[in-house]
């Protein structure tokens, strides 16, 4: 019995052992007692007879917070009329508006009333959270919309999210490079793409580490460039691996040189008569799993670093236009390829609409219909939509952003579960999530890109003001 009592008390934070003093939950005032027991009629009677709506606290909560937690609009109004302090904070520094926003079903009724009465949507508690942060834990709800209309913003949270993700990716990428003899889409190229967007939004990154990754990639490609130009199979799955490498280098603003020109020759040698760049068999989904991805990436790599790439790009774009996507990866990559290949506005719009239609109720996307929503599919879809011209303030983007902010781990990562096959021996890169770390790094990169795109672009050096 003592063990059971100890467990219950620990859950409530009331005691650390059975010999400790049990907290006394006796209401300090009759009004607090009525509010605790949800006796609205008694609470109204007490207030009408002169009960002080600011008297007493229980576990740090003032009476008005108890009424708000019950989502009792009439009682809230009466307490305010009787002089209740709307700006009172609990012992965590959280406000009445935060508790209004915390209701499980995202109702905006009490939130809007607290805002109307003067609640400040920009106030932060002791750990830097706002009412919007609390509301977003329930999804992109009516409460979230009400707070945004009142001027609430998640800009600081987005920046902090991106900074944490990039710091983790850069540390992990460096470790991957030290323990591997190859460059990596998931630990090098995709993080480089995320870093490129973040820089354009004024986010500070470790430029020394970034430069080392560029030098490492170029060094590895340079070693095999001559052989690969002669033998297109010298580098495995060049339409995906080499193309991702070139996109990462471009994001790092690496200038065209003999190595990049050689690599575009290698990629170009994989183009088929129908315009597609066919991937190797799909043994490493989602990164190396389909012809739409390899064609879109190859199109872009040749466009960025190739010599007279127009004919190759046009054939690849024509093939993408008629391809039939089956997964979110294929749908997002098709959209990216159509934009890069300068397809018609109608084709791009139709492709973007089809991608939006795949968004789930929780605001995110799943890689496959039978899988859970994750950061890889969500971040990738949002990046593709923004590239296609969809506003980052659109409903689909706000819902996707809310999903990403809600599901990020405190260490800056997102968990994405692997479904690939054991082709390569696992290497610990210091990225979280064990056997899922490689695809989680890729997913974290896509998520960081999507969130960074919601930030305003930083002024360019030398730009007039």
Separation of CA 27 from chain center: 43
Angle made by CA atoms 410, 414, 417, in degrees to the nearest 5: 135
- Do 171 and 133 share a structural domain? no
Alpha-carbon distance of 259 to 262, in angstroms, equals 5
pLDDT tens per residue, range 274-290: 999 998 877 789 988 89
Q: For position 425, what pLDDT does the model report?
A: 72
**Helix ranges (DSSP H) in 306-416:** 310-322, 328-340, 345-356, 375-387, 395-407
Alpha-carbon distance of 109 to 143, in angstroms, equals 8
Cβ–Cβ under 8 Å, residues 316 and 298? yes
- Do 259 and 130 share a structural domain? no
Nearest alpha-carbon partner for 285 in 327, 246, 245, 325:
327
Residue 9 lies in a domain: no
Residue 460 lies in a domain: no
- Do 204 and 333 share a structural domain? yes
Nearest alpha-carbon partner for 93 in 129, 61, 125, 141:
125
> Cα dist. 303→217, 313, 337 in Å?
19, 7, 11
Cβ–Cβ under 8 Å, residues 108 and 143? yes
Q: For position 117, what pLDDT does the model report?
A: 95
- Do 414 and 299 share a structural domain? yes
Structure tokens at 138: 């329930």
- Do 220 and 87 share a structural domain? no
What is the domain-level CATH number for residue 131? 1.25.40.20
The residues that bridge with 26 in the sheet, in sequence order, are none
Nearest alpha-carbon partner for 383 in 331, 319, 426:
331
- Do 147 and 160 share a structural domain? no
Residue found by looking up tokens 């960081």 in the block = 448
- Do 168 and 148 share a structural domain? no
Query: Hey, is 288 helix, strand or coil?
Result: strand
Q: pLDDT digit of tens for each residue in the chain (465 aa)?
A: 445 444 444 444 444 455 557 778 899 999 999 999 999 999 999 999 999 999 999 999 999 999 999 999 999 999 999 999 999 999 999 999 999 999 999 999 999 999 999 999 999 999 999 999 999 998 889 999 999 999 999 999 999 999 999 999 999 999 988 887 667 888 899 999 999 999 999 999 999 999 999 999 999 999 999 999 999 999 989 999 999 999 999 999 999 999 999 999 999 999 999 999 998 877 789 988 899 999 999 999 999 999 999 999 999 999 999 999 999 999 999 999 999 999 999 999 999 999 999 999 999 999 999 999 999 999 999 999 999 999 999 999 999 999 999 999 999 999 999 998 777 777 789 999 999 999 999 999 999 999 999 999 988 765 544
Domain boundary among 155, 179, 212: 155
Domain boundary among 155, 170, 197: 155
- Do 203 and 70 share a structural domain? no
Please give the tally of structural domains in the chain: 2
Residue 385 lies in a domain: yes
Q: For position 113, what pLDDT does the model report?
A: 97
Residue 53 lies in a domain: yes
Structure tokens at 39: 């006796």
Residue 13 lies in a domain: no
What is the domain-level CATH number for residue 183? 1.50.10.20
Alpha-carbon dihedral angle through residues 175, 180, 183, 187, given to the nearest 10 degrees: -40
Task: Give φ, ψ of 450 to 5 degrees.
Answer: -60, -45
Gyration radius (Cα) of the chain, Å: 27
Alpha-carbon distance of 391 to 121, in angstroms, equals 24
- Do 444 and 363 share a structural domain? yes
- Do 290 and 430 share a structural domain? yes
Residue 26 lies in a domain: no
Residue 373 lies in a domain: yes
Structure tokens at 281: 């068999």
Q: For position 20, what pLDDT does the model report?
A: 57
- Do 249 and 333 share a structural domain? yes
Residues constituting the chain? 465
Domain boundary among 155, 173, 196: 155
Structure tokens at 304: 């960025």
Residues in Cβ contact with 217 at an 8 Å cutoff, skipping those fewer than 6 apart: 183, 188, 189, 245, 248, 249
Bond preceding residue 438 cis, omega within 30 of 0: no
The residues that bridge with 284 in the sheet, in sequence order, are 288
Alpha-carbon distance of 432 to 152, in angstroms, equals 32
Structure tokens at 309: 């790439």
Q: For position 181, what pLDDT does the model report?
A: 67
Q: Give me the domain span that covers residue 130.
A: 31-155
- Do 168 and 141 share a structural domain? no
Residue 3 lies in a domain: no
Nearest alpha-carbon partner for 246 in 287, 195, 299:
299
Task: Give φ, ψ of 112 to 5 degrees.
Answer: -65, -35
């Amino acid at each position: 019995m003592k063990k059971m009592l100890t467990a219950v008390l620990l859950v409530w934070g009331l005691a650390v052992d059975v010999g400790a003093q049990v907290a006394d939950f006796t209401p300090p005032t009759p009004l607090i007692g009525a509010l605790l027991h949800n006796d609205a009629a008694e609470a109204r009677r007490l207030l009408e007879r002169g009960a002080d709506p600011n008297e007493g606290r229980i576990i740090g909560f003032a009476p008005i917070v108890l009424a708000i937690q019950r989502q009792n609009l009439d009682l809230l109004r009466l307490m305010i009329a009787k002089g209740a302090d709307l700006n009172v904070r609990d012992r965590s520094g959280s406000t009445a508006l935060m508790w209004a926003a915390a209701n499980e079903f995202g109702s905006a009724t009490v939130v809007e009333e607290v805002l109307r009465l003067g609640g400040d949507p920009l106030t932060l508690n002791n750990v830097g959270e706002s009412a919007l942060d609390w509301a977003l834990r329930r999804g992109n709800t009516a409460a979230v919309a009400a707070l945004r209309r009142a001027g609430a913003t998640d800009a600081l949270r987005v920046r902090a999210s991106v900074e944490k993700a990039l710091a983790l990716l850069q540390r992990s990428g460096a470790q991957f490079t030290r323990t591997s003899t190859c460059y990596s889409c998931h630990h090098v190229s995709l993080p480089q793409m995320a870093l490129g967007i973040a820089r354009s939004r004024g986010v500070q990154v470790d430029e020394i580490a970034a430069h080392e990754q560029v030098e490492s990639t170029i060094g590895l490609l340079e070693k095999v460039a001559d052989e690969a130009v002669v033998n297109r199979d010298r580098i495995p799955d060049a339409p995906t691996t080499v193309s991702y490498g070139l996109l990462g280098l471009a994001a790092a603003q690496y200038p065209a040189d003999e190595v990049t020109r050689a690599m575009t020759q290698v990629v170009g040698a994989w183009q088929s008569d129908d315009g597609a760049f066919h991937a190797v068999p799909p043994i490493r989904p989602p990164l190396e799993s389909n012809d739409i991805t390899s064609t879109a990436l190859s199109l872009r790599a040749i466009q960025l670093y190739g010599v007279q790439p127009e004919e190759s790009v046009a054939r690849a774009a024509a093939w993408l236009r008629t391809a039939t996507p089956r997964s979110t990866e294929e749908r997002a990559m098709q959209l990216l390829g159509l934009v890069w290949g300068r397809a018609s506005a109608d084709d791009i719009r139709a492709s973007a609409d089809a991608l939006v239609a795949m968004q789930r109720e929780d605001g995110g996307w799943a890689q496959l219909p039978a899988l859970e929503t994750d950061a890889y599919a969500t971040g990738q879809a949002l990046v593709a939509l923004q590239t296609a011209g969809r506003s980052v303030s659109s409903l689909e983007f706000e819902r996707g952003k809310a999903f990403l902010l809600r599901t990020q781990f405190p260490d800056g990562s997102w968990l994405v579960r692997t479904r690939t096959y054991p082709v390569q021996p696992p290497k610990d890169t210091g990225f979280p999530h064990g056997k899922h770390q490689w695809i989680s790094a890729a997913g974290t990169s896509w998520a960081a890109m999507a969130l960074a795109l919601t930030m305003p672009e930083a002024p360019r050096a030398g730009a007039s003001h």
